Amino acid sequence: MKNLSAKQITLICIMLVCLAAVIILWPFGMQAVSDGATFQKASKVHGEDITLFESMKTLDTVDEKLVEWNLMETTSEYQSLKQVAENRSAGQYGAFMTRLVLCCVAIVLFVACVVLLKKTRYLLLVIGALVMVFPFYWMIASSFKTAAEMNRFPPSMGPDSWTNFSNYVTAWDTAPFATYFFNSIFVCVCSVGIVMFTTILAAFAFSRLKFPGRDMIFTLLLSMMMVPFELLVITNYQTVTRLGMRDTLASLILPFTSSIFYTYILRNFFMSVPDSLYYSSQVDGSSNWQYLWKVMVPIASPSLVTILLLNAMASWNSFMWPKLVISRDEVRTLPWALITFTTEVGIHYELIMAGATMVVLPMLFLFLFARKQIVRGVARGGIKG
């Protein structure tokens, strides 16, 4: 963004607004086209050859045509035309047409901005950003919809009311979210604290201490990163069961007390610190323990912040392992709450979206405020020297 001019930034912002408008308005505008096509098809069946545009202009005559054509109420044709008439009588046709026109204007503005910008890469970035952000928008928008709105076709890109918090109230009352929040925070804090401690010690040992087979052991540990966690589930489950930790919060913490990936990031950062600092501390009489906590840890704070954030998000969003070892509501974490809204009768998508929003938002805000630290820490940890 630093290399962009004010004009380019303005055009990109206009493009984002136009694309958002197209995404939101397009389904509503298409409803007018859909109603017009339905009326046009029925007119042709009864010997009246009209264009799509003419049918859209004469939608207010649908009620008269129903009487003229003498359709039976039980036929699908009658039901379709009756729905078109209801849309027209409810004043929705004007809103549909207005949104369609605004959608077309947004498309024209978007194309004009692309021509003025003359930078294809910025267009790709804008489209990529919308693709990434859209699922979050859809989740939040759906959390304010009613069950009828969720089943509406074509789907609406926004709720009828953005102040409909009933789904959040119902979701909070249906599942014990307060208990789940406490359990998730407890597991997250304990897991992050233990992983940070073990990672710091392991990274220091593999970067500064000299012992036989150090590099070979570290290489073998790195090779373990190719083994997916799913292959270790049975072994971990047996271990937790034999220790009597099943159905306890400790079972959610024990298998995640260390990480090879985080050790790799921190080790590379430690190795980028000049050896002269280590030898100087030895001359001053500092022990390895003092040198680690008074010199290396403060210097490595960017990488440590990255490890903390990544581990916190992984612990917070963990679902498969808690599902295997936890069966009591008292010790379940937040991701499990979403299953509460899936029953044999059906799936309450609006409640799932409300619950998912409550689960995701804490980590989403954490990532938005700390994204620079994450990128900086990974970049520094991946470079040696």
Tell me whether residue 145 is in a domain.
Answer: no
User: What's the confidence (pLDDT) of residue 133?
Assistant: 80
Q: CA 175, CA 184: separation in Å to the nearest integer?
A: 14
What would the mean pLDDT of 37-65 be, rounded to a whole number? 67
Asked if residue 297 and residue 177 are part of one domain, the reply reads: yes
Asked if residue 357 and residue 213 are part of one domain, the reply reads: yes
For residue range 349-363, what is the model confidence (pLDDT) as tens digits?
788 888 888 888 887
What is the CATH classification number for the domain harbouring 366? 1.10.3720.10
Asked if residue 271 and residue 178 are part of one domain, the reply reads: yes
Asked if residue 220 and residue 109 are part of one domain, the reply reads: no
Kindly report the number of other CB atoms within 10 A of residue 114's CB atom.
Answer: 17
pTM of the model: 0.64
Mean pLDDT of the chain: 75
Bridge partners of residue 347, in order along the sequence? 342
Q: CA 150, CA 159: separation in Å to the nearest integer?
A: 9
Asked if residue 232 and residue 120 are part of one domain, the reply reads: no
Domain total of the chain: 2
pLDDT band at 90 (very low <50, low <70, confident <90, very high): very low
User: What's the confidence (pLDDT) of residue 197?
Assistant: 92
User: What's the confidence (pLDDT) of residue 385?
Assistant: 41
Asked if residue 50 and residue 181 are part of one domain, the reply reads: no
Whether the per-residue pLDDT at 344 is higher than 80: the answer is no
Tell me whether residue 337 is in a domain.
Answer: yes
Cβ-contact 302, 336 below 8 angstroms:
no
Asked if residue 214 and residue 128 are part of one domain, the reply reads: no
Range of the domain at 249: 170-381
Asked if residue 100 and residue 24 are part of one domain, the reply reads: yes
Asked if residue 346 and residue 224 are part of one domain, the reply reads: yes
Asked if residue 174 and residue 125 are part of one domain, the reply reads: no
For residue range 137-181, what is the model confidence (pLDDT) as tens digits?
888 888 888 877 777 666 667 777 777 888 888 888 777 888 888
Among 121, 137, 153, which residue terminates a domain?
A: 137
CA dihedral of 9, 13, 16, 19, whole degrees rounded to 10: -110
User: What's the confidence (pLDDT) of residue 194?
Assistant: 92
Tell me whether residue 143 is in a domain.
Answer: no
Tell me whether residue 193 is in a domain.
Answer: yes
Bridge partners of residue 342, in order along the sequence? 347
User: What's the confidence (pLDDT) of residue 340?
Assistant: 72
Asked if residue 194 and residue 99 are part of one domain, the reply reads: no
What are the two backbone dihedrals, phi and then psi, of residue 186, each rounded to the nearest 5 degrees? -60, -50
Whether the per-residue pLDDT at 89 is higher than 60: the answer is no
Tell me whether residue 163 is in a domain.
Answer: no
pLDDT band at 42 (very low <50, low <70, confident <90, very high): confident
What would the mean pLDDT of 78-87 be, rounded to a whole number? 66
Q: Which residues have CB under 8 Å from 252's CB, separation 6+? A: 187, 191, 318, 321, 322, 325, 326, 331, 333
Q: ∠ CA 178-184-188 to the nearest 5 degrees?
A: 150
What would the mean pLDDT of 14-21 be, rounded to a whole number? 68
- Per-range mean pLDDT, top range of 19-23, 70-74, 308-312: 308-312
Among 137, 154, 188, which residue terminates a domain?
A: 137
For residue range 96-142, what is the model confidence (pLDDT) as tens digits?
556 656 666 666 676 666 666 665 566 667 677 777 788 888 888 88
Among 114, 137, 160, which residue terminates a domain?
A: 137
Tell me whether residue 149 is in a domain.
Answer: no
Asked if residue 220 and residue 97 are part of one domain, the reply reads: no
Tell me whether residue 56 is in a domain.
Answer: yes
Tell me whether residue 23 is in a domain.
Answer: yes
